[in-house]
Structure 1
Amino acid sequence: MDALFSYLLLLVTLIASLFLVFRAKNPDAGSPKKLPPGTIGWPVVGESIKFSMLGPEKYISGRMNKCSPDVFRTSLLGEEMAVFCGPAGNKFFFSNDSKLLTSWLPLSIKKALVFPTFVENSPKDIIAKHNFMQEMLRPEALRNYIPIMDSMARKHIEAEWSPRKEIKVFPSSKKYTFDLACRLFLKIEDPEDIKRLSDPFGLVISGMFSVPFNFPGTAYNRAIKGGKMIRDELLSLIRQRKNQLSENKDFVTKDMLSQMLLAMDEENDKLLLNEMEISNNIIGLLVASYDTTSTALTMVLNFLAQLPHIYQEVLKEQMEIAKSKGPGELLTWEDIEKMKYSWNVLRESMRLTPSALGSFRETTTDFTYAVLPFLRGGRLAFWTVHTTHKNPKYFPEPEKFDPSRFDGSGPAPYTFAPFGGGPRMCPGKEYARLEILVFLHNVVTKFEMEKAIPNEKIVFRGSPTPVHGAPVRLHPHEK
């Protein structure tokens, strides 16, 4: 009898302890009126498995229909968060950056990308004390990049596309965009040096949005290992460049890596960034170059290969530009500005298959949203393009590819946001636009494309991914 009583007492104590721990980590538990509708799924795993299996589009639309079209609660990547929906949610998210919201990244993503000593830091502290990316992507710099983009696109297509009758667009796009980023931002061109960075990047991108179980054999474990390989390689590159700069005082380069190594904190008369901070900055830039830009490029070429009437209109516009150029003359900013229809085609492609999932924020104070006073300071919030891009209320016949949606003033405010919005709109928006349009020009003026797998499935692996690499048959234009 005493043994039974002791056992029951131990069981009750254990249950009470678990309840107190749960309440400590979930202070709003038991007060549903202060929380948006939704479910958080299993402990640790949350809704991540459902999210991965359904893909972001189906998952988000399903939760909006079931829970709320304004805001709902879920748990992704090991974190409980509120998802803001619709144009009103987008406007709130973009308008309150640095006011009610501040930048934040899930712990699982930070563990895959940055040095362990930075994992607990905010994204602001991880990136830097100075925004080099905005300087490198300012309009004056972008104008100078266009001839380099064009030259590299021509060489890539001549080497990778012209000798073949069929090519997989997705891996080719990744190679071009990553090679270009290494050339422009790191001033490295050797294929082996680039490969030592690009190979582990594939592991990181494939696994950092998976269920964060760091066990051998899992996608997340491979992402963690890939992240370490990238950081080690970047540290080696940073130290090599540092020696090069110290040995040759007259060495002049405008790439981002060299600028970060030379940047001084004038107040303290010392270097502005240490080696790990430089690595963090570079990783953030290369992730975008490897993943989102290459995906956007793949998807627009994929649509051109399956929609001949759209392709013909793009070809007409691009051939007029090509005919205005002299032999071997490279594209300029003025040429890009003439690609109005092509830009509309790219935007419609990004509406249908956005390459970026969205962004995360942390609340900084109490506020009320959609009549719910639930978001106290420290709560996590998530915004995603998938709450508006295919809503028939804003885009009639949402599955139809229709570039004319962007004629005139275009879609209603806060409904089309592939690059985000507000103070934290993607700083690489213009860089990506130029890079993609330059490559598109070089492809369509040389080839007509035909999809090799008409109904190829697109799955979500951090971004939309054609399962067979988007193979297309190439039909060179007659000269």
Structure 2
Amino acid sequence: MPETDMQLLFLSLLLLITLCIALSLRILSPKPIQSGARKNLPPGKLGWPVLGETLEFLSTGRKGTPEKFIKDRTHKYSPDIFKTSLLGEPTMVLCGPSGNKFLFSNENKLVSAWWPRSVEKIFPSSLQTSTKNESMKMRKLLPGFLKPEALQNYVGIMDSIAKKQLETSWDFKKEVEVFPLAKHYTFAVACRLFLSIEDPKHIAKFSDPFHVLAAGVISLPINFPGTAFNRAIKAAEMIRKELLGIIKQRKSDLTEKKSSVRHDILSHMLTTTDENGQFMNEMDIADKILGLLIGGHDTASAAITFIVKYLAELPDVYNEVLKEQIGVASEKQHGESLSWGDLQKMKYSWNVASEVMRLAPPLQGNFREAITDFTYAGFSIPKGWKLYWSANSTHKSPDYFPEPEKFDPSRFEGKGPIPYTYVPFGGGPRMCPGKEYARMEILAFMYNVVRKFRWEKLLPDENIIVDPMPMPAKGLPIRLHPN
């Protein structure tokens, strides 16, 4: 039996045993379906009590085919919507551009943001408010940090970090493993811009537990030794302890008005008051920084890894990217950093990155919660049910992307894809606020890596797993050839 199947079998047995214990102790209980809406629910099945169809949902991802869970059910039930049960919650999955548009445009009208219980437990608010409320507060804090005039100042920093990462971790090596190095790069950028931390030893102090945390954020909330959820909770505690030390030191520096203090998002949080004139407490700030670090590096590192993968497989595409980046570099003085204007010239490179994120979307989808009863596609959606949109319901559909498995950057020329079919950053009011930040980070890396190296994959048939983001099963080892 393949290793992946063995792991899934072991996980299934462990989950079933744990859930049986939880049910017997009344820790978990199936949520009743509202009888008034029962008659006209969408087609589908809820699967096992509590567990639902979660194992199959996770299994298709770990086998590298997350779209199979959606495709099988849309073929069997309805191309628009089906019901299931995921992560212990009765769930409707809305499919296609119509489903995406409906959810994105009805934020805080018919639906609101919802996170699995695993997220609530890993990121408990020190103010005892909901994750939804905390997210709304964070979105109010972010615009100043992510506005265009602020972002322009980060391009040179991202460029210098990319250069340094390649010098220290890629130069003079014949072979490297891309995925962990991509994570190191994006984590270093996040530490520098969010916390003004540059010391590699300081960054390494909590980067390893951070990756453990990220792997357990979207998992069944079973706090049992050995589970991803249990490891994530422990990792979060370690990181909070480290962050609290950084916060206390920064607070002291700001009080003493030390000239060396940089204005980053941590300083912004420490000096900003809410509508009642109250400052955030230290634990609250630690939790917000923790969430930002996840959002600020995990998706971009997955995208960078797959860009390297596809450029290895498609030499013609690599050559076009290299040609464009050499053209950008030729207009700069020796040693001059990248600028905001340089990024605007990288149209083909960004089309390549966009096509990569179509084929391997870092954000597979997200949840909402019905805040009132309503109907969609002729079916009843009861208040309290969870709704899920999936990038894979459109990204790999031949209805919207002809020959969906073919790598074709020209899909993004002109007006680009049909609205609501390409959604790697979500959409509507809850579209990822860091979209432009990610674009800058990805292009800064591409600019540096293609001008320095060519490469080839060492494992031509390496499996891809999605858990919860796409990643090469062996980390994408490559052989480098300096340019």
TM-score normalised to structure 2 length:
0.89
CA drift at 1:127: 5.6
Match of 1:66 in 2: 76
CA contact (8 A) 1:84 1:383 kept: yes
Establish whether residue 242 from structure 1 lines up as the match of residue 251 from structure 2.
yes
Match of 1:77 in 2: 87
Establish whether residue 395 from structure 1 lines up as the match of residue 405 from structure 2.
no
* Equivalent position to 1:253, from 258, 262, 265: 262
Establish whether residue 207 from structure 1 lines up as the match of residue 216 from structure 2.
yes
Establish whether residue 362 from structure 1 lines up as the match of residue 372 from structure 2.
no
What is the alpha-carbon distance in structure 1 between the residues aligned to residue 37 and residue 110 of structure 2? 23
CA drift at 1:252: 4.5
What is the alpha-carbon distance in structure 1 between the residues aligned to residue 95 and residue 387 of structure 2? 11
Residue type of the alignment partner of 1:403? P
Residue type of the alignment partner of 2:420? Y
Residue type of the alignment partner of 1:414? Y
Match of 2:454 in 1: 448
Match of 1:3 in 2: none
CA drift at 1:29: 5.8
Match of 2:9 in 1: none
* Equivalent position to 1:196, from 205, 208, 211: 205
* Equivalent position to 2:348, from 332, 341, 344: 341
Q: Describe the shift of the 1:293–1:342 C-alpha distance in structure 2 as closer, same or farther (beyond 3 A).
A: same
Paired residue total: 454
What is the alpha-carbon distance in structure 2 between the residues aligned to residue 193 and residue 62 of structure 1? 47
Establish whether residue 96 from structure 1 lines up as the match of residue 102 from structure 2.
no
What is the alpha-carbon distance in structure 2 between the residues aligned to residue 404 and residue 274 of structure 1? 49
Question: Which shows bigger deviation, 323-332 or 250-259?
Answer: 250-259
1:45-94 per-position Cα deviation (integer Å, ceiling 9, x unaligned) = 22111111111322122222222211111111222211111010011011
CA drift at 1:349: 0.3
Q: Helix, strand or coil: the match of 2:433?
A: coil
CA contact (8 A) 2:34 2:382 kept: no
1:243-269 per-position Cα deviation (integer Å, ceiling 9, x unaligned) = 12112365542100011001134x644
1:273-330 per-position Cα deviation (integer Å, ceiling 9, x unaligned) = 2222212321221112231110011111110011111101111111111111111011
* Equivalent position to 2:150, from 138, 141, 158: 141
Q: Helix, strand or coil: the match of 2:142?
A: helix
Match of 2:418 in 1: 412
Q: Helix, strand or coil: the match of 2:208?
A: helix
Match of 1:14 in 2: none
Establish whether residue 110 from structure 1 lines up as the match of residue 120 from structure 2.
yes
Residue type of the alignment partner of 2:167? E
What is the alpha-carbon distance in structure 2 between the residues aligned to residue 336 and residue 236 of structure 1? 36
Question: Which shows bigger deviation, 98-107 or 201-210?
Answer: 201-210
Match of 1:15 in 2: none
Match of 1:427 in 2: 433
CA contact (8 A) 2:355 2:408 kept: yes
Match of 2:8 in 1: none
What is the alpha-carbon distance in structure 2 between the residues aligned to residue 344 and residue 434 of structure 1? 13
What is the alpha-carbon distance in structure 2 between the residues aligned to residue 353 and residue 25 of structure 1? 33
Establish whether residue 270 from structure 1 lines up as the match of residue 271 from structure 2.
no
CA drift at 1:168: 0.9
What is the alpha-carbon distance in structure 1 between the residues aligned to residue 139 and residue 28 of structure 2? 40
Q: Describe the shift of the 1:31–1:151 C-alpha distance in structure 2 as closer, same or farther (beyond 3 A).
A: closer
Which residues in structure 2 correspond to 1:35-46 (within 5 Å)? 35-46=41-52
Q: Describe the shift of the 1:66–1:396 C-alpha distance in structure 2 as closer, same or farther (beyond 3 A).
A: same
Match of 2:316 in 1: 309
CA drift at 1:31: 6.2
CA drift at 1:426: 0.3
Q: Helix, strand or coil: the match of 2:172?
A: coil
CA contact (8 A) 1:127 1:280 kept: no
What is the alpha-carbon distance in structure 1 between the residues aligned to residue 287 and residue 421 of structure 2? 32
1:190-220 per-position Cα deviation (integer Å, ceiling 9, x unaligned) = 2232223211221122223233321111122
CA contact (8 A) 1:201 1:290 kept: no
Establish whether residue 125 from structure 1 lines up as the match of residue 131 from structure 2.
no
What is the alpha-carbon distance in structure 2 between the residues aligned to residue 216 and residue 41 of structure 1? 26
Q: Helix, strand or coil: the match of 1:25?
A: coil
Match of 2:19 in 1: none
1:207-245 per-position Cα deviation (integer Å, ceiling 9, x unaligned) = 232333211111221112112222222222212211121
What is the alpha-carbon distance in structure 1 between the residues aligned to residue 152 and residue 311 of structure 2? 27
Q: Describe the shift of the 1:166–1:395 C-alpha distance in structure 2 as closer, same or farther (beyond 3 A).
A: same
CA drift at 1:379: 2.2
What is the alpha-carbon distance in structure 2 between the residues aligned to residue 432 and residue 294 of structure 1? 9
Structure 1 unmatched runs, 5+: 1-17
Q: Describe the shift of the 1:112–1:264 C-alpha distance in structure 2 as closer, same or farther (beyond 3 A).
A: closer
Q: Describe the shift of the 1:130–1:407 C-alpha distance in structure 2 as closer, same or farther (beyond 3 A).
A: closer
State the identity %.
53
Residue type of the alignment partner of 2:470? P
Establish whether residue 329 from structure 1 lines up as the match of residue 323 from structure 2.
no
CA contact (8 A) 1:127 1:281 kept: no
Q: Which has the larger radius of gyration?
A: 1
Match of 1:155 in 2: 164
1:424-453 per-position Cα deviation (integer Å, ceiling 9, x unaligned) = 110000000010011001000111111111
CA drift at 1:355: 0.5
Establish whether residue 352 from structure 1 lines up as the match of residue 359 from structure 2.
yes
CA contact (8 A) 1:78 1:108 kept: no
Residue type of the alignment partner of 2:107? D
CA drift at 1:44: 2.4
TM-score normalised to structure 1 length:
0.90
Match of 1:233 in 2: 242
CA drift at 1:130: 6.4
CA contact (8 A) 1:363 1:378 kept: yes
What is the alpha-carbon distance in structure 2 between the residues aligned to residue 468 and residue 401 of structure 1? 22
Q: Describe the shift of the 1:264–1:208 C-alpha distance in structure 2 as closer, same or farther (beyond 3 A).
A: closer
Q: Helix, strand or coil: the match of 1:242?
A: helix
What is the alpha-carbon distance in structure 1 between the residues aligned to residue 343 and residue 436 of structure 2? 11
What is the alpha-carbon distance in structure 2 between the residues aligned to residue 360 and residue 379 of structure 1? 10
What is the alpha-carbon distance in structure 2 between the residues aligned to residue 474 and residue 105 of structure 1? 41
CA contact (8 A) 1:114 1:227 kept: no
Structure 2 unmatched runs, 5+: 1-23
Residue type of the alignment partner of 1:455? D
